[in-house]
Amino acid sequence: MSSRIPLLYGAGSFGLTGPQSIGARINTVEDAQKIVDMFTSRGYRQIDTSRIYGGGTSEEIISQLDLKGCTVDTKVYPIAPGDFAPDKIRESFEISKKALGKTKIKTFYLHMPDRSIPIQDTLRVINELYEEGHFEEFGVSNYNAWEVAEMVGIADSNGWVRPTVYQGLYNALERRVETELFSCLRHFGIQFYAYSPLASGLLSGKILSEADMQTGRWDPNVSSIAGFLRAKYSLLIPILQELKVVLDKKGISLPEAAYRWLQHHSGLQLGDGIIIGASTVDQLENNLKENEGGPLPGDVVTLLEDAWGQAKGVAPHYAF
């Protein structure tokens, strides 16, 4: 059984052991293959990675896998201002292409904005790479709606490839994309792939007190805004606790509610996607099953609406 909204596996957990692979929990080809085997056994066929994942080694691992028919998307990431200059874009692409080996790239993304370079210059080299046959689709991530519209206009006026897919932050507690971005994407026929479906762990069921905010973006040793985020999002702890009580009575876990909300009650449409992660086969299988559930009970949906009402004032902007 597949989910209503298609799932992509986010390969940010793939990375060879080393200082460059901080956060990568799947460090061998053998373990990565087990993930792909589970993912494809349930009918899913899209893998998402980036040049920056695993310090570049996520792509290397993928190149050694039996992908069982999966398509692979990757991204160029601007580490420093100027990285989206045409020569830098091409250089990053060639490194990704070499790392991926014989694996073909379906969608090539701009991972986030580099506003130090005129977007027309960046789009020109993207079109050159596309015309050379290096990838099938062009995607963008973490841009403002007005920037997407500008890119489409520039592409159309020059006869260049336009973006056909957008990756953005979207979950039950972080819905900023609904205000303006969705209408922009729908107008231009651009698909939306949601990342961070569990709100960086807030909806994992493991954060039910401020003391639980210890890892990832909540950890001050990892994130420079951890203190700010903890101070703001800790206000949601009471409603998360209330939600868990209701869900426990219904036999629904908090992450399952988060996934099913995205699948059935969010602004996602057929043709959109949800990027999920997992660092073990069991975790992946559970995540897939939770996405395959039906619509949520009405009172659970109401509680999630209440949660968004409280989160709205502190939720981050969708663009970087």
* Rounded mean pLDDT, 94-112: 97
Structural domain count, the chain = 1
What residues are paired with 121 via a beta bridge?
A: none
Residues 42, 133: Cα–Cα separation, whole Å: 31
Q: What is the DSSP letter of 196?
A: -
What is the C-alpha to C-alpha distance for residues 51 and 187, in angstroms, rounded to an integer? Answer: 30
Residues in a beta bridge with 76: 110
pLDDT by residue (tens digit) across 225-277? 677 778 777 888 888 888 899 899 999 999 999 999 999 999 999 999 999 99
pLDDT band, residue 21 (cuts 50/70/90):
low
Q: Between the CA of residue 233 and those of 189, 230, 242, 251, what are the distances in Å?
A: 34, 5, 15, 26
Q: What is the pLDDT of residue 143?
A: 98
- For residue 168 the two structure tokens come to 């953005």
User: pLDDT value at position 233?
Assistant: 78
Quote the pLDDT of residue 61: 96
User: From CA 111, how far away is CA 122, in angstroms rounded?
Assistant: 13
| Rounded Cα distance, 140 and 57, in Å | 22
Tell me, what's the pLDDT at 22?
Answer: 66
Q: Is 194 among the domain residues?
A: yes
242 within a domain of the structure (yes/no): no
Active site residues: 53
**Residue 275, SS3?**
strand
Summarised one tens digit per residue, pLDDT across range 128-163 is 999 999 999 999 999 999 999 999 999 999 999 999
Q: Whole-angstrom Cα distance, residue 144 to residue 61?
A: 32
Q: What are the start-end ranges of the H helices in 74-132? A: 86-100, 119-131
Is residue 215 domain-resident? Answer: no
CA–CA separation, 32 and 13 (whole Å): 9
Look at residue 221 and tell me if it is in a domain: no
* Residue indicated by tokens 């969010």: 266
The residues, ordered by sequence, that sit 6+ positions from 23 with a Cβ below 8 Å of its Cβ are 12, 13, 15
Residue 94 placed within a domain: yes
Q: How far is CA 231 from CA 175, 224, 264, in A?
A: 19, 13, 31
Nearest CA among 236, 306, 294 for reference residue 265: 294
Determine the Cα–Cα distance for residues 204 and 199; give it in Å rounded to an integer.
Answer: 8
> CA 33 to CA 156: how far, in whole Å?
40
Neighbours of 292 (CB within 10 A): 17
Reading the block at residue 115, the tokens are: 């506003």
Per the structure block, which two tokens stand in for 91? 């250089």
172-224 pLDDT tens trace: 999 999 999 999 999 999 999 999 999 988 898 888 888 888 776 677 876 66
Residue 279 and residue 270: Cα distance in Å, rounded? 27
Choose the weakest-confidence range: 12-26, 97-111, 170-184, 199-213: 12-26
Answer yes or no: is 56 within a domain: yes
Q: Is residue 156 part of a domain?
A: yes
Q: Which domain holds residue 263?
A: 7-202+254-295
Rounded distance between C-alpha atoms, residue 95 and residue 92, angstroms: 5
Domain membership of residue 24 (yes or no) is yes
pTM of the model: 0.94
Q: How far apart are CA 68 and CA 108, in angstroms?
A: 20
The rounded mean pLDDT for the chain is: 93
Cα 45 to Cα 40: distance, rounded to the nearest angstrom: 6
Instruction: Provide the CATH number for the domain around residue 36.
Output: 3.20.20.100
Look at residue 223 in the predicted model and tell me its pLDDT.
Answer: 67
